[in-house]
Amino acid sequence: MASLFKDLTKLSAYRDRRFPGNQEEFEQALQTSTTVYIGNMSFYSTEEQVYELFSRAGEIKKIIMGLDKNSKTPCGFCFVLYYSREDTEDAVKFMSGTILDDRPIRVDFDWGFQEGRQWGRGRSGGQVRDEYRTDYDPDILLALSVCSIIDQMVAYLKALSSRKGQVRRGGYGKLVQQE
Ligand code: GTA
């Protein structure tokens, strides 16, 4: 089957600074690799979900979840390794923009997975680009508001229980006092 990508020199806008070779070798790797990079994922998406979605493009050899190098938890990207180039191209062509856990994921050709590439390269441990973001995900905002409401409730209950303690101290302490 003819390649779905007419201009193979423009396979990806991303240039990995850590690729061990020159531009020509990088492009050559992109043209032959059977690895795709998935970006803009929710931190809550699981390997099983990725498998379920990306196996629609073809048989998957391996999935490597991208992890925060400090917390060792998913940080929004992963690599999917296929057996065939055709399936790899199908994944990029048909899966890009698919909504996974409320987020439009980005599927990109990748030069090939190597040990170490699963870690976020940002100073805080996650992805570099997340450190430049000034917006927050709606689900993160929701989580923050829920946390804030819970914090306020806990503070209120603590205040209430300490007041109760002052006003009518009872239970075992009261029995001891009465003795
Ligand atoms: N195939 O698009 C991709 C891709 N991305 C974004 C990351 N990886 C990708 N692979 C493919 N396509 O293995 C891979 C990396 C690595 C892993 C984690 O995912 O090869 P990372 O995302 O933490 O680190 O990588 P990376 O790739 O170095 O970050 P990024 O976002 O491309 O940043 C590159 C440079 O641009 C950095 O020097 C940063 O300082 C700068 N930068 C990034 N975003 C901004 C911004 N919004 N404003 C200003 N500067 C920025």
**pLDDT band for position 174 (50/70/90)?**
very low
Per-residue confidence (pLDDT) for residue 139, from 0 to 100: 65
Q: What is the ipTM of this complex?
A: 0.90
Q: What is the torsional sign of CA 112, 113, 115, 116?
A: positive
Per-residue confidence (pLDDT) for residue 32, from 0 to 100: 97
Residue with tokens 């006092």: 177
CA of 90 to the centre of ligand 1 (A): 23
CA of 27 to the centre of ligand 1 (A): 17
The distance from CA 16 to its chain's CA centroid, rounded to whole angstroms, is 19
Q: Tell me the per-residue pLDDT of 37-51, one tens digit each, with 9 for 90 and over.
A: 999 999 999 999 999
The residue ranking higher by pLDDT, 81 or 10, is 81
pTM, entire model: 0.79
Report H helices in 1-117: 23-32, 47-54, 85-95
Q: Tell me the per-residue pLDDT of 122-154, one tens digit each, with 9 for 90 and over.
A: 999 999 999 988 777 766 666 656 656 777 777
Query: Is residue 79 in contact with ligand 1, taking CB distance under 6 Å?
Result: no
**Cβ contact 1:63 at 8 Å:** no
What is the distance between the alpha carbons of residues 172 and 175, in angstroms, rounded to a whole number?
A: 5
On the question of pLDDT at 105 being above 80, the answer is yes
Average pLDDT over residues 151-176: 58
Mean pLDDT of the chain: 85
Counting atoms of ligand 1 from 1, which one is nearest the CA of 126? 23
CA angle 47, 51, 56 (to 5 degrees): 160
